[in-house]
Amino acid sequence: MAHRTEPDPVDVALRVLLTEPSYAAQTLIVTARMLEMDAAQPMTALAREHALDIAIDAVLGRLPEAVNHESVKRVYHAMPPLAPSTTRGDYARRLRRAAEVLG
């Protein structure tokens, strides 16, 4: 019997799923990137929602509705609260830490 030279597609898919950040974590990372574009600006709820809307569209926009919905719930649950006198850059760092926790 000949040995297979290409990996099993299921093994490849599992490896990708286990090594890439979850959709929720990816959404937090993209949100952080958006906020880092104006890192010195004050962090506001409106700025957070605007950056988050862009990230949700970019990361989750083409996924099935059930996956999109569950990922958005995880994102909102993981988002750090807004603190007074926080810059967008500071909040972006907090989002990246939250993304690491989500994995």
Q: What is 36-75 written as a DSSP string? A: HTTTTSBP-HHHHHHHHHHHHHHHHTTS-HHHHHHHHHHH
- In the structure encoding, which two tokens stand for residue 95, read together? 């989002």
Non-local (6+) Cβ contacts of 82 within 8 A are: 43, 44, 45, 48, 91
Provide the domain limits for residue 78: 22-102
Task: Note whether residue 56 is domain-resident.
Answer: yes
Return the pLDDT at 82.
95
* Residue 9 covered by a domain: no
The pLDDT assigned to 26 comes to: 96
- Overall size of the chain counted in residues: 103
Does some domain include residue 11?
no
Structural domain total, the chain? 1
pTM of the model: 0.82
Could you tell me the mean pLDDT of each successive run of 10 residues in the chain, 103 residues long? 68 67 95 97 97 97 94 96 94 97 88
17, part of any domain = no
Residue 41 to residue 38: CA distance in whole angstroms: 6
The H-or-E segment that residue 10 falls in is helix 9-19
Residue 2 lies in a domain: no
